Structure 1
Amino acid sequence: MNKRELTKKCKTLLTRTAVEVAKLDVNTTCPFISYQPRLPKSIYKLKKYDHN
């Protein structure tokens, strides 16, 4: 495995991890009452909606 392939695999892994963390963040709330950070509007397309 050369350096270019390794770099590509690392970027892919980092991207997948970032998307999964973003999905987790958009679907949870902060446990502290006084602080809920604002998320970028573009991340809300990852939100799971409960359609009852």
Structure 2
Amino acid sequence: MSREAVTFYSEATHVTAFALHGSTAVDKVIAHGLRGLVWPHCPVRYFVDEEEAL
């Protein structure tokens, strides 16, 4: 997910939950690297399993 996308969703008022999905350890490192950004005012969580994320 790009920084621009995170910024867009952090300003959105209709987001009730935010799931980051990835299948490798590298994906998880990248997702955690985005933590310095302003996130939406809702729950945000990283998932390995796509079904669980949905």
Range class of TM-score, shorter chain: under 0.3
TM-score relative to the length of structure 1: 0.25
Q: Which structure's residues are more often strand, by fraction?
A: 2
TM-score relative to the length of structure 2: 0.25
Q: Which structure's residues are more often helix, by fraction?
A: 1
